[in-house]
Structure 1
Amino acid sequence: MVGYAARFEAELAGLEFPGRVGIASWDLDEGVPVLRCPEVEVHSASTIKVLVMITALRAVAEGRLDLDRVVPLPASRTRGTGVLFEIPSVPAMSLRDLINLMIVVSDNAATNAVIDEVGFPAIAACTAGLGCTGTRVERHIMDTAAPGVLQTTALDQARVMAALARGEALPPEQTRHALAVLSRQQVVDRIPLRLPEDARCWNKTGEIKGLRHDVALLSADDTPRVVLAVLVDQLTDPVSTKGYRGGDGVHAIAAVGEAAWRAMSQPSTGSQGVGSAEDDRRPLPGVPWRSSESR
């Protein structure tokens, strides 16, 4: 059967990409991935905030944290994306609201506050438990002078989002909470940009100078159907190297999002295609089949 993977491969064949691009995507029911440089380790930027959210919600599910717990905020706050550094008169905020800000507007100060609530060892354990092999969260956001790295891979990002969609990352109540937060994402200039108005998209972007990422779940209804991670670094165009919005990487990711949507929306056919049951290639850990274009 020609499923999502074969159709997405065909859609990608007509696209050109700037910089270095990592892609990992599959239909959650079919489980046949399309992969491009899936295990290249790159700066994670804000995509790791999904892992931080999952770690916090696991602690909530286990009774170690409470979403209504009021978390004190430091007077000196991390700048970059978000709003908390602009409102120093707010001395504290609930964990629930910090998670919302961390995802919906990618607030860096909120992220660091949530990291401090859960701790780096818990984030590392969550990362490993979700099958990630190239992701490390070892310092606060924007704290470039501190030791440690923030890194990830396209395949790891897809693994995390797929585990969340399948209910493997969190219990049902916390899964619904996490997906609801992701659905309210306000940075929609990448994967969601060219999707139809009625499309469902749960996504989290990441950006630093010369780098643009987006990871998402896509569906035509309320049940996630396709996972898609697109990580782009080594960008050299003037817009991408100047700031955090726009540029060649953003346009490329939007094109990939549109390609994934078209592939998802087409009906399956009965002939054999990429990733069919006759494919005898060895799988990657946590992924049932490796596509013909993975490398």
Structure 2
Amino acid sequence: MGYAARFEAELAELELPGRVGIASWDLRENVPVLRGAEVEVHSASTIKVLVMITALRAVADGRLDLDAQVELPADRTKGTGVLFEVPSVPRASLRDLINLMIVISDNAATNAVIDQVGFAAIAECTADLGCTGTRIERHIMDTEAPGVLRTTALDQARVLTALAEGTALPPQLTAHALTVLSRQQVVDRIPLLLPENARCWNKTGEIKGLRHDVALLSTDDTPQVVLAVLVDQLTDAVSNKGYRGGDGVEAIAAIGLAAWRAMTQPSTGSHGVNGA
């Protein structure tokens, strides 16, 4: 019995709230577990991984420099992060902006990186990584602007798989991106119930009534499993009050533990390989 069958068995024991999209597979077995994986939902901050990869591709091509200083606007996006709270800081390096964008999900940093790479480059990267239901067409929190922020669990898993397998970026920048993801400070979802020795590279997303988390999991320094969990249509009071806690967070934590258990159980039998 491989990872997919074990994960399916673990999921069967869970009662999940809202509308849940799941895409997961062992990166060696490549047998996918898909539940609502192609349903398009608001991406929230999960799209920041794609923005990071687009920026690092521009660095690889020599169009951007990680250590170049980026001027920050005086009027900064609110929401998660710290740059809105420190208007006296006029600029930051692209490296620092990417760190802030991922590690604490800073919205102002995200919009600054988006402006460095442009929406056309993000769309090109999105398509190149095989995404079919993801659109990044406006800045974070700019709800009055035209365009949407949409994604699917399957697309999110595709992006992280490409990163883990080294097809998204050159080796040095792959290592850089994984290091940034490994320093994630929002750990109340997929990583929450995992053992202390677990390795997790993740990025969350949240708006009212919605909680997401997408991750790579492993027992060592090499990613073994990809897991994307997107939950919307949440109706509990906590999920609809703010950006932390609630039924969706608890559900994603349970799914993360289910994936960990499926990953760490010994394999029996054999399975064919199916493309995801």
**TM-score normalised to the size of structure 1?**
0.93
Cα deviations by residue, 1:252-278 (Å, 9 ceiling, x for unpaired): 0000000000000000012x6xxx33x
1:258 aligns with 2:257: yes
List alignment gaps of at least 5 residues for structure 2. none
CA distance in 2, matches of 1:6, 1:19: 24
What residue in structure 2 maps to residue 80 of structure 1? 79
Shift of 1:233: 0.1
What residue in structure 1 maps to residue 182 of structure 2? 183
Shift of 1:38: 0.6
1:40 aligns with 2:39: yes
CA distance in 2, matches of 1:170, 1:73: 27
Alignment of 1:163-202 (within 5 A): 163-202=162-201
SS of residue paired to 2:100: helix
What residue in structure 2 maps to residue 19 of structure 1? 18
1:155 aligns with 2:162: no
Cα deviations by residue, 1:8-63 (Å, 9 ceiling, x for unpaired): 00000000110000000000000000010010000000000000000000000010
Cα deviations by residue, 1:213-236 (Å, 9 ceiling, x for unpaired): 000000000000000000000001
What residue in structure 2 maps to residue 107 of structure 1? 106
Cα deviations by residue, 1:146-203 (Å, 9 ceiling, x for unpaired): 0000000000000000000000100001000000000000000000000000100000
What residue in structure 2 maps to residue 290 of structure 1? none
What residue in structure 2 maps to residue 217 of structure 1? 216
Identity %: 83
List alignment gaps of at least 5 residues for structure 1. 288-295
Shift of 1:102: 0.1
CA distance in 2, matches of 1:14, 1:212: 21
What residue in structure 1 maps to residue 54 of structure 2? 55
What residue in structure 2 maps to residue 293 of structure 1? none
Q: What's the C-alpha RMSD, in Å, of the aligned pairs?
A: 0.9
Shift of 1:242: 0.4
1:238 aligns with 2:237: yes
What residue in structure 2 maps to residue 291 of structure 1? none
What residue in structure 1 maps to residue 137 of structure 2? 138
CA distance in 1, matches of 2:32, 2:82: 37
**TM-score normalised to the size of structure 2?**
0.99
SS of residue paired to 1:201: strand
CA distance in 2, matches of 1:268, 1:224: 17
CA distance in 2, matches of 1:248, 1:14: 16
CA distance in 1, matches of 2:258, 2:244: 22
Matched residue type, 2:217: L
CA distance in 1, matches of 2:89, 2:144: 27
SS of residue paired to 1:164: helix
CA distance in 2, matches of 1:167, 1:196: 27
CA distance in 2, matches of 1:250, 1:175: 28
Question: What is the number of equivalent residue pairs in this alignment?
Answer: 276
